[in-house]
Every structure is written in structure tokens, then in C-alpha cells.
Structure 1
Amino acid sequence: MLDLAPEPKPGTTLVVMVMETIRDRIAARVLVPGARVPSIRRLAETLGVSKSTVVEAYDRLAADGAIAARAGSGFYVTRQAQPFALAEPGRRPEREIDPLWIMRQALEEGGPALKPGCGWLPADWMPDAAIRRALRALARSDTAGLVEYDSPLGFAPLRHHLAGRLAERGIAAESGQVLLTDSGTQAIDLVCRLLLQPGDTVLVDDPCYFNFLAVLRAHRVKVVGVKRTPAGPDLDAFARAAAEHKPRLYVTNAALHNPTGASLSPAVAHRLLMLVEAHDLIVIEDDIFADFEIEPSPRLAALDGFDRVIHVGSFSKTLSAAVRCGFIAARPDWIEGLIDLKLATGFASGAVAARLVHRLLTDGSYRRHVEGLRGKLARAMGETRRRLEALGLTLWVEPRGGMLLWAALPDGLDSADVARRALALDVVLAPGDVFSPSRTAGRFLRFNVAQCASPRIFTVLEEAMRG
């Protein structure tokens, strides 16, 4: 016989109360695997709830695998329940600080609340209300986009709209040259699958976005870094690396470079494309920060016309990391090959996400949101810069927008050591060598200004710098 359950906690429904009652008995081994749980009628009478409440609770427990129904007999315990925890107990395992280390610390559920080293905006900076309105409107529309696979290229109205947005940046692409993906990372992965073989060489900026390194290493290619300057890659170093290593690809950020925040200059862009043609390279231009720009900088795809440049974008940084929607713009023959790879590895991109993004882009919500973001980022950039300089850090460049600052620690300090000490105090930093193929950025840290509002970040940073 079950004891009467306590009154539901504030904010807890009767269904959850019933579920917790059964889970508590399983955890206490009053109900062991194979034991029959009380009938729906009996438990309803014992707990003073309706039978429909117990039915829903049992359905949820069955869906969770805690109990199972036997026809004509009732419900039975299937396994011993495990205590629920947001994170595994004990300390984080020691490991080399690498790109995946940063991603795991920043994404860890229940982990550090302060994450100036992460690469996304705070949740309360995102257009929550607009996304909810768009979701409700989508739910009221025809059901095809909610239950069916999308077309191989992806939702046509969104591709048409993206082609128009690219045209505003001088990039001439028809909607048939735009392929939707589930993210910018998937877009880069598909291009690598199409164009690379294990053992090929790929050039990247040094420093570069650390996930470029993770994706490329997963493809078992050789990664060669080219020194980055505030105006773009060091062209002399690029020419030497291209001549020596015969690379297949060059992967870069066109604007608001990650991690430095710098943007490509027109002169460097033109000379870079000449080198790309001379050495028979293909460029992946990752433009995910495009909408953070206040004044547009050159785009390689605009200057090249898709002869040797593949343009990639997504909405994870500006709209929602949970709404996975990216795209590839490229010449038609590459798009054909990419469609086959997309079908082979993922079958179709997210139809619901594509329709949601399209609605937000076309109802004015996204435009208003981005305009507000630029102002908030500019204010956060100024405040973060002031606080970092007060601690003795030196900015590598003054970004023309965006959310990233690349700052050098005072002489004698190693950013990996500082990051480990800060992590022990529940602050995730992004040390420089994670972004550097040559491991020559040991004094640098990347800061996301949108995640730097808490004064505690700078208190912890100061303490970590002291050792």
C-alpha cells in the first residue's frame, strides 16, 4: 500500500506529483523491477486524484521506460530508477585545452554560469517573443512543413529570400545556387566531404575559429596556418604556404573574423583572390557574423563571382542556436554534388526551422532585432574594452562591430593556465592557442563582449592572472 503523497510543490502539477510518488517508491526499492504498480483506480483513490491524472502519469512513466504495460494485467516496473542529476558528480576530467575542451565547458549543462569565452549571445538578448509568435503562426499554417521531409535544396521561399539578402552584399546568386543546411558547421562539413580527401592540405588563418580546426581534423587533412593581420591574411605568408604545401582549400571568416574581430580590407581581398587563382585554391568564406556589421566590408564571393569561392552562413549567432538553419551559396556544379552529399548524410535539412527563419526574416522581426543587437553590442564592446585595459590586457585590434575581442595578457602569463584557474572558479575563458594551429597565441584570450556583463568575470580574471 502506498502512503498518501504530499501536496504538490508550488508550480508542480498533479501529474508530476503522481510520477514522483511512483519514482520515489522505485528508488526506495519498495517497487522492484518486475513488480506490479498499483492499478489506475486504486492509485487515484489513494492519492485523491482523478483517474485521468494517473493515466497521464503512467503514460509518461512508460514513455520514460520506468514502467511498461502488459495487456490485461496492468503496469509493471521495468528497471531500477537512477537518480537524476544535471551533471556527473566529481571533478571535470583533466585534459589538454583544445577546441573540443572549449565547446564542452561552454555547453556543459549545469556548468559555469559565466561564459565570456563562449561564442553566442545571452539567451535574454535573443528575440524570444518574436520566435514564439512565429512558432504559433507556423502551427496554424498547413501541416506539410511540420511533418514532411523538405526538398533536396531546402525550403524554396527561404532560398529566394537569402539570394536577395546576398545581393545586398554584392553577391550574385540565384535561389538554385543556395542550399539549405542545418547549421554553418554542417555546411562546412559538407563542402569538406565534397572537395577533400584524407591527407589533403587546408590553409586557415592563424588564429582562426577553433571549430574550423576540429572539423578539418575530423576529415584527416593537414592544417597549415597563415598569420592573420588586422587587414586579412599575411599575403606573403599565404603565397609561401600555397607554394610549399599545395593546399586544396582555404577556410576563413570574411568579416568580423573569429577570434580577432578584424575585417578584410579591399586591397587584401583583391590580392588574396589573385593568389587563390594562381595556386588553384578553393575558398570557404564563412560569413556567420555578417548581420553584426555596421559598415559592410568586402566579400570574397562578391569579388570572385563563385568561381573559386563557396559562401557559407547561418542564423545560430543572431537568431537562435536552437533553430538550426544554415546555407551554402556556390556555383551550380558544386551545389549539385553538395545536394547528393546532404541526402546521403542527413537526407534533408530541417523543414520547420527553415519555415520559422523565413517567417522571422519576412515579417520584420529579424530586422528590428538585429538593429537593436548592434547598439547593445557596441555598448558592451566599449565597457568590456575598458575593463580589460584596466587589468593590463592589450587589444589586438578595434573591431568595427560584432561581439568578439582578442586581447593579450601581460608578459609572462599563459592564457591556458589562466583559463584553468578561472574554470576552477566557474568562469569559462577561451585561451588563444585553441585558435592557433601553430600554438603561438599563448598570451591571448578571446572575449565575447555580450557575455561580459557580470563584474565577477573580471574579478575572477584578475585572481586567475595572479595565480
Structure 2
Amino acid sequence: MIRRAGKARKLQRNTIPQNCTGHIAVQFSPADMNDTPHDLAPHAPARTRVDTVMHALRERIASRALAPGARVPSIRMMADALQVSKSTVVDAYERLAGEGVLVARRGSGFYVSGHAPPLALADLGPRLDREVDPLWLTRQSLEAGAAVAKPGCGWLPPSWLPEDSLRRALRAVSRDAPDALLNYATPLGLPALRQQLARRLAQHGIHAEPGQIVLTDGGTHALDLVCRLLLEPGDTVLLDDPCYFNFQALLRAHRARIVSVPFTPAGPDLAQFERALAEHRPRLYITNAAIHNPTGATLSPAVAHRLLTLAGEHDLLIVEDDIFADFEREPAPRLAAFDGLARVVSIGSFSKTLSAAIRCGYIAARAEWVDPLVDLKLATSFGNAQLAANVVHHLLVDGTYRRHLDGLHARLADAMGETLQRLAHRVGE
């Protein structure tokens, strides 16, 4: 049975853990030399400097500031940070390697062992040094100038976007479809674009008829409509940790309760995910199955199948935000493809690949949810942007969008290669 949220209450602007917006920098300082384990007896012998270095690293590994597989600071960097000798750091690293906490790689350095103990959900609570308001962060990302870095937004440089192609498409639409300049859209949205989207979804293994696709004014609008349909105030929603920060802001507007699950290179930590299902009985899970924001990871088929099994067992619904789908050269597994749009709703938009000003997104959902979604769309926005939908359709059918993506893939590959080289150089310093 589908549930709808009631009248929204006044939005509360509380703080949330910053780990839902990106990674936390790992820092060491001489103050770490004074840390004392809680279980250290009052009259226990003083720790040696080697013990102190080991303790500082163990603390960061336990708190996930250094994740399994991460390279620990170089011997020189650690010695400078803690104001100890290099030989002290070498001794500490060697002992930790002997304990299995670190792994030594010849010519590369020391890395955190992949066999770290599981992170408990209780450890994910807010810390005083990691608090941030997601609505403040959203405002800052929109108000800051182009020169300001905006990690977690997933925005391409404006120079990478097809400005000239957009100008030509706008002229063509104004000439060939003048109604798009003046009139409201039909309830579901432009039929020709929905047909194109159905074909594109099929390339990812998602079979949706055009009548199962609802056009929206971007991905955020799509997610808002889904939340209006499926959530009631107080419902619990699972989010990845880290996740896209505006998920937090939107769910706060719907007065949902948020539970975070650690995200791994293959998808959510399944043990923690299953525990969250049992303890919190969530209504919804929101994720990026491909090119996850901000980690860039992609869901593995094994994790996808297990997630869907758990969703069926616990009556969980899933929203798959596929906004970065077109950044892929080869389609990755999709939850909506495995599920057949039974428990999974697929949403996406063209804001990241074409233009943030072209507010054109979509929802692909099971047939019985389409009319309620359309009702909510009409009640809250009286439709979607007809002009934007026509521009996107024009770029899809004349081949411009495909050529743009080909160039985009090449630029992304080059940028990734350059970034990896810079990181390797920095790590080797």
C-alpha cells in the first residue's frame, strides 16, 4: 500500500555528520603524543614513543579516518607530524605490520590491512569536529563562484558542457516547436522524449514503457516526488555513508529519520545494511548504483542481488539515482534492471551532462505508481518544463548528445589519468 506524506512542518536546521558529504582529511599533531588509552591503569608505565605512534595510528584506523587499504602517512611525514625520529616511526610501523594491522609493500610503503573489524552503526553518530548543515552546504555550493572547489556536487567545468549545441537546439525548438515556448506540458511530459528515454533505459537492462516514465524538472524534483508518494513523517530512510549531501537536506524537508550505512567499493556494507533493516525497519533506501557520489564506486552484481533479496524480506523500497549514468563507457549493473521496477524506482536527469539550467529529469516506476506521481507533480508544479524537454529531445535525436558524450568520456579519462599521476607523486613524496 502506497503512503503519502501529510502537510510538511517547519524545517529544522540541525547538524549532521560531515561523512555524508565526502571524506575527512587525516591529520596528526604533536597533541596525539599525549593521548592515553581509556583502559590504561593510573599507575601503568609511561608509554614509549613507539607505543604512542602505534596508538595514534590505531585510533585513526578504528575511527575509519584511515580505511582498510589506505596508505598510511610516509615515515618522514609521520615523524614530522608527531615530532619523533624516523627510526621511531619505522619501528612502530614494523610492529603494526607484525600484528597484522598494517601491510608493508616493497617500494610503496605501508597500508592499512583489509581485515579491519566491522564498523558498527553506533559508531556513525555525529562528532563535534564533523558537523555540517546540509542546507547550508547546498546554499554555499550555489552561491560560491566558479573558482571555488565544490567536492561532492559532481559538476563538470562549464567549459566541458556543449554551450554552442544548446544554443542551436534552442533556436531549432523555437522554430520547429513554438508551442514549447508558450504552453504547459502534458501531464506525463513530452511523449517523444519519454520514448527516447525508454530506449536509453533498455540499454541498461531496464525495461520501462513510455507510460511508466514521468518527466520532471531535474533529479531533485524526481526524488522529491518519490518521497512525497512513499514516505510519511517519521519514516526511516537508509543512506550511504558517504552520500550526496542534498539527500540529507531533502529528507529533512520530508521529516524522515535517516540511518547511514557504510559504503564500500562494491556497494553498501551488507552486514551493516542487514543490521539496519532489522533494527530500524526502514521504508526506503536511496543510492547511486553506478558512479556513486562521492566515492565513484559501482555496485557489484553480487551485492545488488543480495540487496534486492533483503529488500523483499524486509518490505524495503529502493530509489536508484542514476544521474551519472551517461558518464559510463560500459553500463554497470542496475538494481532496477535486476528488479524489473518492482521495488526499485529509477530516477535521472541531464543536469550533469548537458546543463544545470536545463531542468529535465525523469522517474521510471512500476505502472500503478505513475498516476499518483503525476498527481503530485501537477499539484506541486503544474507540470514540467516543456521547453527543456524539447531541447533535450532535439539533442538526443540529432546525434549531438551522443557526440558530446564521446568527447566527454575522453576528457574524463584524460583527467582521471592526470589526477592519478598527481596523487601518485604526492603519495611518493
| TM beyond 0.5 | yes
Q: Which residue of 2 aligns with 1:224?
A: 259
**Gapped regions of structure 1 (runs ≥ 5):** 1-94, 394-461, 463-467
Shift of 1:140: 0.8
Partner Cα separation in structure 2 for residue 136 and residue 220 of structure 1: 43
SS at match of 1:339: helix
Partner Cα separation in structure 1 for residue 137 and residue 410 of structure 2: 28
Contact 2:194 2:210 in 1 (8 A): yes
Q: Which residue of 2 aligns with 1:144?
A: 179
Q: Which residue of 2 aligns with 1:304?
A: 339
Q: Output aligned runs, 1:217-296, within 5 Å.
A: 217-296=252-331
| Aligned residue identity for 1:144 | D
Q: Output aligned runs, 1:78-97, within 5 Å.
A: 97=132
Count of paired positions: 299
SS at match of 2:215: strand
Deviations 1:137-171 (A, max 9, x none): 11112422211110000000000110010011110
TM-score, length of structure 1 as denominator length: 0.62
1:114 aligns with 2:148: yes
Shift of 1:384: 1.9
SS at match of 2:363: strand
Q: Which residue of 1 aligns with 2:204?
A: 169
Q: Which residue of 2 aligns with 1:384?
A: 419
SS at match of 2:332: coil
| Aligned residue identity for 1:207 | P
1:202 aligns with 2:269: no
Contact 2:234 2:256 in 1 (8 A): yes
Partner Cα separation in structure 1 for residue 284 and residue 220 of structure 2: 16
Partner Cα separation in structure 1 for residue 267 and residue 385 of structure 2: 34
Partner Cα separation in structure 2 for residue 136 and residue 208 of structure 1: 38
Shift of 1:205: 0.9
Partner Cα separation in structure 1 for residue 326 and residue 263 of structure 2: 22
Partner Cα separation in structure 2 for residue 168 and residue 313 of structure 1: 14
Partner Cα separation in structure 1 for residue 238 and residue 178 of structure 2: 45
Percent of pairs with identical residues = 64
**Gapped regions of structure 2 (runs ≥ 5):** 1-129
Q: Which residue of 1 aligns with 2:216?
A: 181
| Aligned residue identity for 2:236 | T
Partner Cα separation in structure 2 for residue 167 and residue 251 of structure 1: 22
SS at match of 2:405: helix
SS at match of 2:421: helix
Deviations 1:117-147 (A, max 9, x none): 2421111101111111111111112422211
SS at match of 2:187: coil
SS at match of 1:259: coil
Contact 2:236 2:259 in 1 (8 A): yes
Q: Which residue of 2 aligns with 1:156?
A: 191
Q: 1:130 aligns with which of 160, 165, 187?
A: 165
Deviations 1:64-104 (A, max 9, x none): xxxxxxxxxxxxxxxxxxxxxxxxxxxxxxx9633333332
Partner Cα separation in structure 2 for residue 97 and residue 278 of structure 1: 34
| Aligned residue identity for 2:331 | P
Q: Structure 1 residues 381-390 or 271-280, which shifts more?
A: 381-390
| Aligned residue identity for 1:113 | A
| Aligned residue identity for 2:148 | L
Q: Which residue of 2 aligns with 1:329?
A: 364
Contact 2:154 2:293 in 1 (8 A): no
Q: Which residue of 1 aligns with 2:409?
A: 374
Partner Cα separation in structure 1 for residue 176 and residue 349 of structure 2: 24
| Aligned residue identity for 2:147 | A
Partner Cα separation in structure 1 for residue 427 and residue 204 of structure 2: 38
Bigger radius of gyration: 1
Q: Which residue of 2 aligns with 1:42?
A: none
TM-score, length of structure 2 as denominator length: 0.67
Contact 2:217 2:359 in 1 (8 A): yes
Partner Cα separation in structure 1 for residue 382 and residue 179 of structure 2: 17
| Aligned residue identity for 2:188 | L
| Aligned residue identity for 1:290 | A
| Aligned residue identity for 2:400 | S
SS at match of 1:220: coil
Partner Cα separation in structure 1 for residue 327 and residue 387 of structure 2: 25
SS at match of 1:113: coil
